[in-house]
Chains A and B, each alone.
Chain A
Amino acid sequence: MLDRLPLPSQLDRVILLGGTIAALAFTPILIALVVLLIVDQISAPELVFWLAFTLIVAGALGAVLLPNIVHAALSLVLTLLGISAIYLLLGQEFLALAQILVYGGGVTILLVFGLMMTNAADDPIVSDGSQKPFAAGVAILLGVIFAAGLLDASWGDAEATAVSLQAFGTRLFDGYVLPFIIVGVLLDVALSGALLLARPDAPEPETEEAAS
């Protein structure tokens, strides 16, 4: 049974290795956070925030650094689910659910499908481009600029306020009906176009041959 799965020799090894690494990396962080919680240095929401922070950054690092593209795609799922936890922490239940449904479900499945149908089955290891050091420099510079800018500004002492689902729906369908419909049409056109592009166009030469 197991040897019929894709990447058979790697499957159990990957699960074992990934689980071990995740446990080794997350246990000290969890212990440190719980100790901080017990001695009242941080509150419970902050504990959840830092756990989600660790999850998101670790998943994103895996998604951009892992050489095996299937592992990178699975690592991206961690990030997307962590972002859903951040939305819950900010009090936005609807966006958190939409995030899990659309990203955790649809987009991930599409990406893994794409990987499997292109080159994951033959050779899942992809080397990065030669402009890697340049890319790292630019990315670090960008992150430092953003971080410096946001720490320089003063944001006041506001607190996160949950928005009720009813208020969200009223506002969406009260002031944003036209954009909503346009997004619906856009989704329709984009997915029809994707279908048209990905469909094999075999029949045309056959009809020509039949005519001649």
Chain B
Amino acid sequence: MIPLENFLLLSAILFALGFYGVLARRSAILILMSVELMLAAVSINMVAFAAYLDPERFTGLIFTLFIIAIAAAEVGLALGIVLRVFRERRTAMVDEASSLKW
């Protein structure tokens, strides 16, 4: 059988990659994609813990379902904002839309 550590290791690698993407990318939509990677890493963790350690109550599975739903809402709303910014300023780069930075 696969030990639980393998899933946790996969989740750690995925989270670190997503974190790198959030910090290094300039396009707002690519940052959004990296956030999705981090959410997916957390979901893997929760599902693995629920399936291995808590199969009677499996609260982690329920949380994962909510994470999927909230991630969908987040992507929809963030894309609306990005399209708005692109129409106003003709750019989708986060470092060029910096008028709130003082």
Contacts and interface: CB of A to CB of B under 8 A. Distances in A.
Interface of A: 43, 45-46, 49, 53, 56-57, 60-61, 63-64, 69, 72-73, 76, 79-80, 83, 86-87, 89-92, 95, 98-99, 102-103, 106-107, 110-111, 113-115, 117-119, 126-129, 131-132, 134-136, 138-140, 142-143, 146-147, 150-151, 155-156, 158-163, 167-168, 171-172, 176, 179, 183, 186-187, 190-191, 193-198, 200
A46 B2 contact: yes
A98 B68 contact: yes
B61 A64 contact: no
A147 B23 contact: no
Say what secondary structure dominates the interface of chain A.
helix
A158 B17 CA distance: 28
Contacts of A129: 23-26, 95
Interface residues of B, number: 72
Nearest to B58: A163
Nearest to B85: A118
B91 to A, nearest CB: 8
A76 B36 contact: yes
B27 A99 contact: no
A111 B44 contact: no
B7 A143 contact: no
Contacts of B74: 190
A160 B1 contact: yes
Given A53-B10, A183-B66, A63 B52 contact: no
Contacts of A114: 29, 32, 79, 82-83
B81 A103 contact: no
Nearest to B46: A95
A174 to B, nearest CB: 10
Contacts of A135: 19-20, 23-24
Contact of A64 (B7, B37, B53, B71): B37
B33 A72 contact: yes
Interface in B7-45: 7-21, 23-27, 29-30, 32-34, 36-37, 40, 43-44
16 contacts: A45-B1, A57-B10, A57-B17, A86-B47, A114-B83, A118-B29, A128-B25, A143-B16, A159-B1, A160-B1, A168-B61, A183-B70, A190-B74, A194-B79, A196-B80, A200-B87
